[in-house]
Structure 1
């Protein structure tokens, strides 16, 4: 087993993480999968027997992250690829601003990812090889109504990845940031507004798998949403805020 390529995917119970883990396993990888719900991981493992290995985990627990990362390396071998996909979304407006919900979002999306990075970067730096991909979001490009907590966490991930990429590169470790638009997952089903350019999770899987095979730092999709959000981010504040005001419910 140790001679085969090894991957670790967090947030693999549902959505994008699950789809990418399944794709990697079908491509011949040995894949460690983590999420908080054992049943989701068990059902995924049944889809590709002998290739997917379940390691239940709450990424907000730093000690547990370190223990699981060590367990994976001891069981499966050194990690060639790590995809940090775990995340949560708590919509909130100014009127129903929720400090606990905001803190939970930051704890999972940002600090949970930080916990995982701290666990996987040192061994990769020591080996001078490996690839880490962090799932952020195009919502990190511009502040959007009701997505203040989620967008803030994803903007922080984009900034963090930009800061780490040159540093990791000098040690031979690749870092990618994945910025999806709206993907049909359990998280987006919380939205009660029209989602432009919504794509099925299978299409997201196609884009990510293709992007991981390139040298691009950013994997962003679908292209229509990428163009729209990056153009919006370039507009003067007055015009940009006038546009986002029209998104209010």
Structure 2
């Protein structure tokens, strides 16, 4: 692969592409489903709440399937995978977007809260990937997109559990890429900044460069079209956070305290 070649196989033509979105009931997942359906993709929508999924499906054009599941149950991934293969014959892209968020300071940590967040945000993604890797390696093609967060770039106040889980996803995606790219399977890491969703509505601070879910979905589609490994947005915000990681810890901690007031 040349130095300027895309790291992943670019996805530009969505007509007839079979896409399974886990975490499609609201926010980025719902917006992505609408955008993909409008471009001719076949879209399967998964999340816990059937009613919310059916509402999203009603706004999508073309072939759309509602497949409720719980991302903390590994057997649910296998069940829905088999249902989709029986209906469609193959999968082309799986988007792991299910996630939860609770603002927490260190003094608010409890074992139950820690496990509740990581079961969905980290272990649920790993379980889903485990269910899909054999399929994609057998096909010799396909793609997976892991939706992380810029909170995984470095320690941030109130992201005491959320941030470490997303940092682990960054490492996981990089490791998957090393194993799967040689066998023709694409791995995309999606790192959004602040997006206006029910989860971020819990924040009690000003969120810089806040995006709409529709804008986030379009940024993801642009990244898929380029074949990027990491799709991060909005770049005016994410690039600043990436640069902050080069600062000595003393300056990083002081700047984060000053910028957040926390």
Tell me if TM exceeds 0.5.
yes
The count of residues paired between Structure 1 and Structure 2 equals 247
Q: Which residue in 2 is equivalent to 1:215? A: 227
Residue in 2 that maps onto 1:105:
117
Partner of 2:154: 142
Q: Distance in 1 between matches of 2:154 and 2:30?
A: 27
Aligned with residue 48 of structure 1, among 57, 60, 80? 60
Aligned partners of 2:91 and 2:204: how far apart in 1?
Answer: 39
Q: Say whether 1:115 aligns with 2:130.
A: no
Structure 2 regions of 5+ residues with no counterpart? 1-14
Instruction: Determine whether 1:245 maps to 2:245.
Output: no
- How much has 1:103 moved relative to structure 2? 1.1
Q: Secondary structure at the match of 2:158?
A: coil
TM-score normalized with structure 1 length: 0.96
Aligned to 1:36, what secondary structure does the other structure show? coil
Q: Secondary structure at the match of 1:4?
A: coil
Q: 1:106-185 maps to which residues of 2 (within 5 A)?
A: 106-185=118-197
Structure 1 residue 49, shift from structure 2 partner: 4.8
Structure 1 gaps, min length 5: none
Q: Out of 41-50 and 201-210, give the one that drifted further.
A: 41-50
8 A Cα contact 1:92 1:98, kept in partner = no
Superposition RMSD on alpha carbons, in Å? Answer: 1.3
1:4 is displaced (CA, Å) by 2.8
Instruction: Give TM-score scaled by structure 2 length.
Output: 0.91
Instruction: Tell me which residue corresponds to 1:82.
Output: 94
CA distance in 2, matches of 1:225, 1:101: 29
Checking the alignment, whether the CA contact within 8 Å between 1:73 and 1:79 is kept in structure 2 is: yes
**Distance apart, 1:244 and its partner CA:** 2.0
- 2:7 aligned residue: none
Q: d(CA) in 2 for partners of 1:202 and 1:67?
A: 30
Residue aligned with 1:160, SS: helix
